[in-house]
Structures are given as C-alpha cells and as structure tokens.
C-alpha cells in the first residue's frame, strides 16, 4: 500500500486536522500558545501535515522523512519573512526556532507521538482516530 498523503484529505479536513505545535501530552492551552506565537513565521510549514504523517505511521524512516519535511518547510518560511530593516534578525530567529522544533520532534516524537506500525493507516482511519482523541 502506498503511504497516504495529507493531500488525500479534503481542504476542510486539512484545516481541522492536527493538535497545533507540541506533543499530545501538553495541555491544550500551552499548545495553543506555542502555535499562535510561532505562527508569525509558520506561513506554509504545516504542523497539520506533520501530525498527519505521524498518525499514518510506519517505520523509523517514515518518521525521519516526516520530521525532515517539517524542518524543510519551517526553514523555507524562516527565510521568507517580510523584507525590511529587521529581516535578517527575524529570519535568524525563525531559523533558530525551526531548529529547536526539529530537535524537539526528533527527540520527543519517538515517545508515543509517532504511530510505529507495519502497515500505514488509511486517511479514514487517521480521521476516525483523530476525532476520537479530539473530543
């Protein structure tokens, strides 16, 4: 079976997917604060996409690819800051935050966030599981 893609979801499902930035065990208010604070440079880097990849699961290489894609997207956003006098400072700060988030998912993602499994979950299985955990 091919690995399901975040793009297999409808646009509405994509908008509603994910728990924000941070592991599932962080309180919702903390994840919301981190997500809103980091959103000043997270334009296209989708933690939703990353969460979907973790829910689909797979082996350690699948997890590494999910994390690498997340870093790549964060770095792209980091250097895409609005041009201006303080662009370099903003970009460097965003790059630093991107690297911190990347290290956090590399270290912390192995402790219950990534679904290690022999077969990938289907998009519908992922959505069903997410709905049950979200409420």
**Block residue for tokens 């409420």:** 135
How many angstroms separate the CA atoms of 38 and 88, rounded?
17
Query: Phi/psi at 116 (nearest 5 deg)?
Result: -70, 125
Domain assignment of residue 110, yes or no: yes
Domain range for 124 is 45-135
Average pLDDT of the segment spanning 114-129: 91
pLDDT digits (tens, 9 = 90+) for 34-62: 888 887 777 767 788 898 999 999 999 99
How far is the CA of 85 from the CAs of 38, 39, 80, 88, in angstroms? 21, 20, 14, 8
Q: What is the pLDDT of residue 135?
A: 40
Are the C-beta atoms of 16 and 134 separated by less than 8 Å?
Answer: no
Q: pTM of whole model > 0.95?
A: no
How far is the CA of 1 from the CAs of 8, 15, 54, 119, 124, in angstroms? 14, 25, 17, 8, 14
In this model, does residue 8 exceed pLDDT 80? yes
Residue 18: left if φ>0, alpha if ψ -120 to 50, beta else—which one?
A: left
Domain assignment of residue 40, yes or no: no
3-state helix/strand/coil string of 73-84:
HHHHHHCCCCCC
Domain assignment of residue 80, yes or no: yes
Q: What is the pLDDT of residue 133?
A: 60
Terminal Cα distance for the chain, rounded? 30
Domain assignment of residue 57, yes or no: yes
Domain assignment of residue 72, yes or no: yes
Domain assignment of residue 34, yes or no: no
Q: What is the pLDDT of residue 17?
A: 80
């Amino acid at each position: 079976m091919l690995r399901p893609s975040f793009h297999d979801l409808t646009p509405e499902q994509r908008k509603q997917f994910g728990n924000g930035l941070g592991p599932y065990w962080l309180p919702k208010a903390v994840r919301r604060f981190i997500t809103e604070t980091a959103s000043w440079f997270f334009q296209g880097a989708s933690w939703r996409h990353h969460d979907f990849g973790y829910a689909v699961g797979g082996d350690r290489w699948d997890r590494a690819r999910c994390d690498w894609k997340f870093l790549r997207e964060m770095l792209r956003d980091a250097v895409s800051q609005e041009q201006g006098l303080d662009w370099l400072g903003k970009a460097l700060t965003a790059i630093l935050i991107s690297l911190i988030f990347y290290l956090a998912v590399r270290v912390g993602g192995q402790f219950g966030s990534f679904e290690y499994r022999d077969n990938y979950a289907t998009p519908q299985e992922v959505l069903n599981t997410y709905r049950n955990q979200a409420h």
